[in-house]
Amino acid sequence: MVQSVDRALTIVKLVSQKKDGYGVTELAEMLDLNKSSIFRIVATLIEHGFIEQDLETKKYRLGYQYLELSSKLLDSIDIRKEATPFLKELEELSNEVVHLVIYSQKQAIYIEKLEGNETLRMHSRVGERAPLHCTSAGKTILAFLPEEEARTLIKQQPLPAHTAHTITEPTALFENIKQIKHQGYGVEKEENEAGINCIATPLFNYNGNIAGAISISGPSIRMNDERLQHLKEPLLQVGKQVSRRLGYSAESLSH
């Protein structure tokens, strides 16, 4: 480890933790360094835009270079690439079909599907639209949208019956997604396809907005209430891990 680099990065982390920043004396005490050493390090960081000094308080805080770098990082995030290792974990755990669904232009789109090892053929295909009103992933996305946006979507889009269990009445659907938001995950039982039950977890992006969902689907004979409960915790954990990979921070944003 290069000591000077380590000290510079430590200073960056320290000043990022306090809105008003730290002065030279405070930094010197925390790092057990003399002030001249601190001055040299922060001068270099200022030159590159990673730290700036408040002219009134003389304290150091994060520079705007981080905004530029973070925006480039966030723009480069590929949700499918970030999620795939976690999807494979769920596939191995469950042996069932695992879907990755994104929310884009007021639609839920399947962008990945892992088939599992069990014999099961579902109608879903990568690139197709996932029905918002009758899939666990679609309802989970609806649940975590801003309330007015969700209400508008439910009113504007048709709610066709895919099975005898599909919720086709807007008020009933809105009550259902309120429950999904309260419990933090979505379940649908034979609402999209007869004999198929699903459970889904939400995915959030760096703005704290709903970005999509991950779901596990299987025959209702296997995906009974007990199995859904068994899969719930690992699925929720994966949702949190993928959301973190997308830049979501539960410490500063909450749902």
pLDDT, one tens digit per residue, over 180-208 is: 999 999 999 999 999 999 999 999 998 89
The residues that bridge with 100 in the sheet, in sequence order, are 112, 214
Which candidate, 54, 42, 47, places its Cα nearest to that of 9? 42
Mapped onto helix, strand or coil, the DSSP state of residue 52 is strand
Mean pLDDT of the chain: 89
Domains of the chain: 3-73 (1.10.10.10), 77-245 (3.30.450.40)
pLDDT at residue number 55: 87
Give the model's confidence band at 71: pLDDT under 50 very low, under 70 low, under 90 confident, else very high: low
pLDDT at residue number 203: 96
Question: Does residue 72 have a pLDDT over 90?
Answer: no
The pLDDT tens digits for 142-162 are 999 999 999 999 988 889 999
Structure tokens at 219: 């025959």
pLDDT at residue number 125: 79
Q: How many CB atoms lie within 10 A of CB 73?
A: 11
Q: Calculate mean pLDDT across residues 219-224.
A: 93
In the chain, what percentage of residues exceed pLDDT 90?
66
For the entire predicted model, the pTM comes to 0.71
Residue 96 DSSP label = S
Residue 114 makes CB contacts below 8 A (sequence gap 6+) with 87, 88, 90, 91, 97, 98
Question: How many angstroms from the chain centroid is the CA of residue 27?
Answer: 35
Q: Calculate mean pLDDT across residues 160-186.
A: 95
Q: Calculate mean pLDDT across residues 206-211.
A: 90
Taking CA atoms, 30 is separated from 18, 34, 41, 60, in Å, by 14, 11, 14, 14
Q: Calculate mean pLDDT across residues 59-68.
A: 83
Q: For tokens 């755990």, what's the residue?
A: 93
Give the model's confidence band at 229: pLDDT under 50 very low, under 70 low, under 90 confident, else very high: very high
Taking CA atoms, 16 is separated from 10, 53, 66, 189, in Å, by 10, 13, 10, 46
Q: Calculate mean pLDDT across residues 90-98.
A: 93
Taking CA atoms, 244 is separated from 20, 57, 77, 203, 247, in Å, by 26, 34, 11, 9, 5
Distance, in Å, from the CA atom of 74 to the CA atom of 245, rounded to the nearest integer, reads 10
Beta pairing, strands 196-204 & 60-62: unpaired
Mapped onto helix, strand or coil, the DSSP state of residue 47 is helix
pLDDT at residue number 173: 96
Q: Calculate mean pLDDT across residues 115-126.
A: 72
Question: How many angstroms from the chain centroid is the CA of residue 208?
Answer: 8
Using alpha carbons only, how large is the chain's radius of gyration in Å? 24
Residue 135 contacts residue 123 (beta carbons within 8 Å) = no
pLDDT at residue number 75: 56
Which candidate, 87, 30, 100, 84, places its Cα nearest to that of 60? 30
